[in-house]
A and B are shown apart, each in its own frame.
Chain A
Amino acid sequence: MTDDDLIRALQTAVPRWPDDRPATDLWPRMLRRLDQAPPPFGWLEAALVAAILVVFAVFPKIVPVLLWHL
């Protein structure tokens, strides 16, 4: 079997990949998604961050245990 025979055999055995490329450029859409505003960072989130930092400072031994769950 020559190389050409092998190529032909492979081309007949493996179905052609469907050419279903998107009709438009998707990158601008991706940029718009990246630029979407994140959820607001309110008082509840600030209080949570402060509480977490206080707990970590007072009980540093729980940090590795918490990391075990992340």
Chain B
Amino acid sequence: MNRHPYLRAYMAGVLLPSWMLLVVLAVIVSGIPPESVDRAIIFPMAVVPNLWGVWNVLYIAMAPRRLSLGVFGAILPLMLVPAGLALARVIDLRVYTSGHALAILPVGMAVYYLAWKYVVAFFNRVAGLGDAYQRRP
């Protein structure tokens, strides 16, 4: 089963944020003004899952590598948080400020480290990418 490893990596990366989207939707719908919901949902629905998938593809494509999957995943918020902040400004989403972005960056990196080390790594193993493509645990 060594065919299409990048497609499998993309699907394995997309899975967790797609599940989380249900929780995010519930929080967004209940927590922000109704007129902002359609704009606020763009980022967690379209940008975040795709970036997770592409990030996992990048990790697989970089084999052999030196970084563990957890550390590699923890780097993602360094791009995702500024991107979210920029998008929030473009779409005039006032509930999200640069102060928020700075505050959540370290926490987000910690959450991402754990999510990538345990959940995405599990999905990669199930998708047949764990042994052949992962040098470190």
Q: Which residues of A contact B (CB under 8 A)?
A: 26, 30, 33-34, 36, 38-41, 45, 48-49, 51-52, 55-56, 59, 62, 64-70
Contacts and interface: CB of A to CB of B under 8 A. Distances in A.
List the 4 closest A-B pairs by CB distance, nearest first.
A39-B137, A70-B20, A48-B110, A65-B100
Interface SS of chain A = helix
B84 to A, nearest CB: 6
Contacts of A59: 103
Interface in B85-127: 96, 100, 103-104, 107-108, 110-111, 113-115, 117-118, 121-122, 125-126
B111 A68 contact: no
A52 B111 contact: yes
Contacts of B77: 69
Contacts, number: 76
Contacts of B115: 70
Contacts of A69: 43-44, 48, 77, 80-81, 84, 104, 108
A46 B121 CA distance: 18
Contact of B24 (A26, A52, A70): A70
Given A69-B77, A70-B115, 20 more contacts: A33-B125, A34-B126, A38-B121, A39-B117, A39-B118, A39-B121, A39-B137, A40-B137, A45-B114, A48-B110, A56-B107, A65-B96, A67-B23, A67-B24, A67-B27, A67-B44, A68-B44, A69-B44, A69-B80, A69-B108
Contacts of A30: 126
B5 interface: no
Contacts of A33: 125-126, 128, 130
Contacts of A51: 110
